[in-house]
Structure 1
Amino acid sequence: MLITLNRLTIPPGEHLFLHDVNWKEFNSVLAELGESRATKIAYNNGLLELMTPLPEHERNKELISDLIKVLLEELEIEFCPLGSTTFKSETLLKGIEPDNCFYIQNESLVRTLDRIDLNIDPPPDLVLEIDVTYRTHPDIYLALGVPELWRFEKGELQINLLQSGNYVESENSLVIPDFPLKQIIPQFLSQCQTQGRNQAVKQLRFWVRQNVGWVK
C-alpha cells in the first residue's frame, strides 16, 4: 500500500475506501490491522472499506446477540457464535466481518475448528448486522451463501432468507422459528434501557419458558 494503515485514523462512525486493492494487498491489510481492533472491513472485487463503529452500534450488537443466545439456549438449540470472524473467498474476491454470526444447523461441523475455510466449510447459518452509520453488504453475504441475514436499522429488524439465489425479506426466521422476533427485539432493547440488561434478560427467559410451556 502507498500509505501504511498505521498512519491513518478512522473516527467512530466514519468510513475509509481503498480502490483497486488486489487479493494480496487485501490480505496484507488484514495482517497489518491484526485481530485486536475496532475497525471492521468489507472487501468486494477490489474495493476495500474500513469502518469504525459508534457506541450505539456496539450496544445494539451486544444486546441483540444476547437475545439470540437466550432464545437458542432456552429452546435447547446448540449453536456456536463466532463474532466478527473474517470470512473471505479468493475465488469470489470477497471478504467480510459481520457484527456477529452464528453456526446453528451446521454447528457440529465447525465446533472444533480454529479457522474457517469457505472452500470446504459452510458459511454461518445466521449473520447479524447493525446499520447505524453505514449499510451492510448483502451482496457479499449472498455470494458467500449465508442462508439468513438479519439487519437491524432505525429500531426495526429485517429478516432476509436466501431463496433461489437471492435474499427475500421474511416475517419469520428459519433458525429461530415461531417467535415474533420483529416485535421481541425492539421491546427487549427498550427494556434494557429502562430496566437494565440483566433484568431484561431475566424477563426474556421467563417469557420464552412460558411460551414454550416449559417449567424449569
Structure 2
Amino acid sequence: MPTTSISLRLEPGQKVTLQPVSWEGLEEILAELGEQRSSRIAYAKGILEIMAPLPEHERAKVLLADLVKILLKVQKRSWEPLGSTTLKRKDMAAGIEPDDCFYIQNYKAVIGKNRLDLTVDPPPDLALETDVTSKTELDAYEVLGVPELWIYEGENLRINVLREGKYIESQTSPTVENVAVVEIIPRFMKRAQEVGVSQALEEFEVFIKAENR
C-alpha cells in the first residue's frame, strides 16, 4: 500500500498527513505498520496523521508519566497505566495513540486488560502528550471523550479539561486539584535536565510529600 510505505520511511521528527482516509483504510494501515513500531497515529474527520517522535520526545514522555505516577502514589490513589495504546472507536471514526494515559477513577474497569474496546470500556481519565499537538489529535481526544489531557510543550504544561464535548484550558487539574501542576511539573521537567532524571524524581517525591502533609 503506497501510503503505508511512505509512513515507514519517516525519519524522527517527521509527520505525514493523509486524507481522506476511511475507517477501513485506517485499519489496513495500522495492520501494515504493526504493533512494534515507534511511529504514532492520530485519526479524526477522515484525516490520518502518522508521526515519528524525536529521541528527546521519548525521554520527556517517560519523565512526565513518572511524575504523574509519583503524584498518584503520594496521594494514595489507585491507577492503571495503559501507555501509548491505540484508542479508537469505529462508530466515532476517531483514533489516537497518546504518549501515555492513565485510568484513575475508572481503574477497576481495565485491570488485566491489554487491549481496549472503547464501545465497552471507558476512555482513560488522563492522557499525556509531550510535543506539539495538532488539531487532528485534539479532535480525536475530544471525540473519544478523554476527560483530561495534559500537553507539555516548550517548558509549559497546558491542562485541557473536557466540558460539553470540547476542551477548555484550565489552570488546575480535576485529577489532582490540590496540586499546582501547571507550575510544578515544568519546574521538575527542567530540573531533570540539570541533575538527571533519578535525582529529579526523588526531589519531586520529597516535595509532593511535604505539600500533602
Q: TM-score, normalised by structure 1?
A: 0.92
Measured in 1, the distance between the counterparts of 2:127 and 2:119 equals 19
Does the C-alpha gap of structure 1 residues 106 and 9 become closer, same or farther in structure 2, counting only changes over 3 Å?
same
Q: State the match for 1:168 in structure 2.
A: 168
Q: State the match for 1:102 in structure 2.
A: 102
Q: State the match for 1:178 in structure 2.
A: 178
- 1:148·1:159 contact (CA, 8 Å) conserved in 2? yes
Task: Give the ranges of 4+ consecutive aligned residues of structure 1 lying more than 6 Å apart after TM superposition.
Answer: none
Measured in 1, the distance between the counterparts of 2:191 and 2:2 equals 48
Matched, 1:146 2:146: yes
Number of residue equivalences: 212
1:30-89 deviation line (CA, Å, top 9, x unaligned): 111111111001112322111101122112111111100111111110111111110111
Q: State the match for 2:44 in structure 1.
A: 44
Measured in 1, the distance between the counterparts of 2:146 and 2:7 equals 34
Q: State the match for 1:135 in structure 2.
A: 134
Measured in 1, the distance between the counterparts of 2:4 and 2:200 equals 44
Q: State the match for 2:64 in structure 1.
A: 64
State the shift of 1:20 in Å. Answer: 2.3
Matched, 1:24 2:24: yes
Measured in 2, the distance between the counterparts of 1:159 and 1:60 equals 17
| Structure number having the greater helix percentage | 2
The alignment partner of 1:161 has SS state of strand
Letter of the 1:167 counterpart: Y
| Percent of aligned pairs with the same amino acid | 45
- Structure 1: segments with no counterpart, 5+ residues: none
- 1:5·1:32 contact (CA, 8 Å) conserved in 2? no
Q: TM-score, normalised by structure 2?
A: 0.94
Matched, 1:33 2:29: no
State the shift of 1:7 in Å. Answer: 8.1
- Structure 2: segments with no counterpart, 5+ residues: none
